[in-house]
Structure 1
């Protein structure tokens, strides 16, 4: 299908989609992308109300659970529910409760090896371990003399962690420099895609191809070199990578011309990104907002896991057990956190898509008048409901998947089900993302936008497959390259440092470089998807004569070349 827009999609359908008044000449109709703010109305607002109501419903459950929580219970308590090292509350129905253990900070286990449940073991709070007992873990006494090997290992572990902390403190400036260099590497990689997209794409694909050839040759050589009668399991790795090599070669051979689209779209995406460099702040803000939500959830979860009411499980043994409401609060808060996280991601997509579509269709790309702020304002003013709706669908799918998956006892069947559901879930996320982009462009609700996006994608499925799989593959490889180069810089920075703890610096820099690369390139993926949908709408909306195309010369040349190569007729 080349770069053509959908054959079945007609210009009049775009006018109907936008609910424009009938016109004898479609090209005289007032169609503008992105839709003006004054022509927009709030979309899917009832789902934003649902999200707000669900958060309000969650609050009393969480507050109730937190009222019955105590973090000190996580360190275990005596068999009467008294926590060591503090004065405990008195319960009238149990005489053994309400003990003042301010000076008894150790918990001693008497018959731990005789029971399966730790809460059914005989436990008492003591000021020091009784004769015949040893403090093997900090704050706990166990029966028997301590093993010298274990004691030495415990001391060594404490010394090791202390040495590691001192080393990292001494490496603070080197670590900071390496982390900033990883940011520089990621931005430099983006710039290389800006000035030499074709070279970067083909270099990455060729590099991976060469590495796969070497790896496959090495694996098959090792397989045939091993002298063993039982080599059945060893053939899996060489077969797997051989199949990967064949697939990559087939893609490069049969879709060689299609990869040109990836390169052109990459160029346009880089132009948009560097024309609006503040776009890079959008995923950063989303990341920290998401991080804040997750941190709040984890802190609340830590308290909720300690919640419970004192219950006598057997005679003389008490335990803090969560009731149904507390259990529901934990599950409910988890899924609400997931929903809010997906909601924030949806907002990010719409903000980026709105700004990029404004850049794409602007006649004067040097005078955009704050496109990011305008796009964010429109998203928050009109389309939070759409983000809430799309994220709700993804959340419901995840809940259904987890519920059904929990019913399977057979591990193989469960793994197969999870694999199938993960594919469906990823596809749903992809459709939702494109629906968000369409909403940002046209200002229509989630379902209408999703339906139009799906029709465009289906009519251009060959391009979409290449753009997503080859494009995503190149982006992932670029992120890996950012990490490897960052680690190389770290190696150079650590020259002259002699310490067994150098690995910790590499681990920290590796993690941070991956996060930095993921944030930088996450915007790239959304920009690419937006550029392609704008490209399709551009060719449908404009005729290249009375209404000039908004696309760049590179895209025009690619479109004309595609018509010649694939024999396509202009719609």
Structure 2
């Protein structure tokens, strides 16, 4: 007697193996029926259609492998975009005579350099982040499985591990982002770029903290302004309160559904655009810190920063002063 979750297969077994006894193979009622008396060796077992294979045996491992590969590829694509943007913005900063020293196509040039020289470093950096993210997924899976268990120590340990790996993921994302910027500037490998970026940021920790908080606040205001404006416009449009397009908007019973859809879409688009500005700010900031440490304004080591920034910091190049 065989039972399976597949109804079609269940009928096949039911109409063949169970015909001689007139009984139905159901695991819920099998032990209480008289089948065991008629057939002492009969059993009602769950069976895979076609038998259990290695795929069914290691199914959960393969699912985690798919999740791992998804995280790895997604992080690689994000890293490739970050290095490309960092290379384009860095080429602008390190051009001594702007815009004469700029390359013809800075974005395409940076993309070509990233694919030609930094593919392995990008794969390594995204691999580290993917491993941490998969560990977080495993912890969430264990937390879901242990919800029914009344073990406070295990729940406390899982909560601590989840918090630690969340902080570690944020730190690795921050480190990778700055490592990719140093990689785009100097062309060094991932480990060297990460070490140099971390050392540079630690030497200027106060500037980093101030710039990070100010830019986060400004980006938050920008996103709030865009999402709020689009949401208000969508509300007046779908409620037919704009006379110019009153006939265009269809009458809706639940107008909040398209309004919320427009708000979510506008937030995602605004987040994508502001992420480019955020990469620009971080790249120019690291270039600025490198400029201050490498150069002193002399004729041999002139500053590469813009004239407005030199004026703000009261920095001048000696060649310009003498002229």
Scaled by the length of structure 2, what TM-score is found? 0.74
Shift in alpha-carbon separation, 1:81–1:539, aligned structure 2, 3 A: farther
User: How does 1:395-434 map onto structure 2 within 5 Å?
Assistant: 395-403=130-138, 406=142, 410=152, 411-434=155-178
Name the SS for the 1:365 alignment partner.
coil
Q: Shift of residue 494 of structure 1? A: 2.3
Assess if the C-alpha contact under 8 Å between 2:67 and 2:134 holds in 1: no
**Which of 278, 289, 311 is residue 525 of structure 1 equivalent to?**
278
**Which of 81, 105, 111 is residue 348 of structure 1 equivalent to?**
81
**Which of 374, 377, 389 is residue 112 of structure 2 equivalent to?**
377
User: How does 1:101-180 map onto structure 2 within 5 Å?
Assistant: none
Shift in alpha-carbon separation, 1:535–1:327, aligned structure 2, 3 A: same
Which region of structure 1 is more displaced relative to structure 2, 460-469 or 405-414?
Answer: 405-414
Higher relative contact order (CA 8 A, sep 6+): 1
Query: After superposition, what is the alpha-carbon deviation per residue over 1:206-243, rounded to whole angstroms, capped at 9, x for unaligned?
Result: xxxxxxxxxxxxxxxxxxxxxxxxxxxxxxxxxxxxxx
Q: Distance in 1 between matches of 2:15 and 2:79?
A: 54
Is residue 553 of structure 1 aligned with residue 288 of structure 2? no
1:447 aligned residue: 191
What's the C-alpha RMSD, in Å, of the aligned pairs? 2.9
1:387 aligned residue: 122
Is residue 338 of structure 1 aligned with residue 91 of structure 2? no
Q: Distance in 2 between matches of 1:482 and 1:523?
A: 16
Assess if the C-alpha contact under 8 Å between 2:87 and 2:185 holds in 1: yes
Q: Distance in 2 between matches of 1:422 and 1:557?
A: 41
1:77 aligned residue: 6
Point out 4+ residue stretches in structure 1 off by more than 6 angstroms.
none
1:476 aligned residue: 220
Shift in alpha-carbon separation, 1:480–1:120, aligned structure 2, 3 A: farther
Assess if the C-alpha contact under 8 Å between 1:79 and 1:120 holds in 2: no
User: How does 1:215-230 map onto structure 2 within 5 Å?
Assistant: none
Assess if the C-alpha contact under 8 Å between 2:27 and 2:45 holds in 1: no
Q: Distance in 1 between matches of 2:226 and 2:27?
A: 53
Is residue 315 of structure 1 aligned with residue 59 of structure 2? no
Name the SS for the 1:323 alignment partner.
helix
Q: Distance in 1 between matches of 2:206 and 2:65?
A: 41
Query: After superposition, what is the alpha-carbon deviation per residue over 1:180-229, rounded to whole angstroms, capped at 9, x for unaligned?
Result: xxxxxxxxxxxxxxxxxxxxxxxxxxxxxxxxxxxxxxxxxxxxxxxxxx
Assess if the C-alpha contact under 8 Å between 1:397 and 1:425 holds in 2: yes
Q: Distance in 2 between matches of 1:555 and 1:397?
A: 39
Q: Distance in 2 between matches of 1:121 and 1:500?
A: 47
1:360 aligned residue: 93
1:504 aligned residue: 257
2:246 aligned residue: none
Shift in alpha-carbon separation, 1:418–1:554, aligned structure 2, 3 A: farther
Which region of structure 1 is more displaced relative to structure 2, 377-386 or 322-331?
Answer: 322-331
Q: Shift of residue 335 of structure 1? A: 0.6
Q: Distance in 2 between matches of 1:401 and 1:383?
A: 27
Shift in alpha-carbon separation, 1:378–1:81, aligned structure 2, 3 A: farther
Shift in alpha-carbon separation, 1:542–1:493, aligned structure 2, 3 A: same
User: How does 1:58-69 map onto structure 2 within 5 Å?
Assistant: none
Assess if the C-alpha contact under 8 Å between 2:71 and 2:133 holds in 1: no
1:489 aligned residue: 233
Q: Shift of residue 503 of structure 1? A: 0.9
Gaps of 5+ in 1: 1-72, 83-89, 98-109, 111-118, 123-313, 562-571
Name the SS for the 2:114 alignment partner.
helix
Assess if the C-alpha contact under 8 Å between 1:354 and 1:441 holds in 2: yes
Q: Shift of residue 404 of structure 1? A: 5.4
**Which of 34, 53, 61 is residue 328 of structure 1 equivalent to?**
61
Shift in alpha-carbon separation, 1:316–1:336, aligned structure 2, 3 A: closer
Query: After superposition, what is the alpha-carbon deviation per residue over 1:449-476, rounded to whole angstroms, capped at 9, x for unaligned?
Result: 1100001000011111122233223313
Shift in alpha-carbon separation, 1:402–1:499, aligned structure 2, 3 A: closer
Q: Shift of residue 336 of structure 1? A: 0.6
Name the SS for the 1:453 alignment partner.
helix
Q: Shift of residue 381 of structure 1? A: 0.6
Q: Distance in 1 between matches of 2:253 and 2:47?
A: 47
Shift in alpha-carbon separation, 1:121–1:354, aligned structure 2, 3 A: farther
Shift in alpha-carbon separation, 1:419–1:560, aligned structure 2, 3 A: farther
Q: Distance in 2 between matches of 1:470 and 1:414?
A: 34
User: How does 1:211-360 map onto structure 2 within 5 Å?
Assistant: 315=44, 317-318=46-47, 323-360=56-93
